[in-house]
Amino acid sequence: MHAEDELLESLKSFNDCEIRVYTRFATEWRDQRLSDGSQAEVSFWNSVISMLVEERHRRKEEVQRLEAMFQTGQDPG
């Protein structure tokens, strides 16, 4: 579990372009592993993809919160 926490923390330092590139890479690698029949590796890559997508959603929500703060002058959170 410690490695997952470290990965989640390191994702915060990635820019959006890097996250998109790594998501595409992980998706392609997962698909290759799936066609090879390596179910354990497919599960691993699904986890990585999930973390990358969650980070993109977190950032999107943060941007929406900041936009609302700018428009209203109040923190909606």
- pLDDT at site 54: 92
Q: For 4-17, how does the pLDDT look when each residue is reduced to its tens digit (9 = 90+)?
A: 778 777 777 888 88
Tokens of 76: 């909606």
Please say if the pLDDT value at position 1 is more than 70.
no
pTM: 0.72
Burial of 67 (0-12, 13-18, 19+ CB in 10 A): exposed
Q: For 16-69, how does the pLDDT look when each residue is reduced to its tens digit (9 = 90+)?
A: 888 899 999 999 999 999 999 888 999 999 999 999 999 999 989 998 998 989
CA distances from 76 to 25, 55, 61, 67 (A): 35, 20, 11, 10
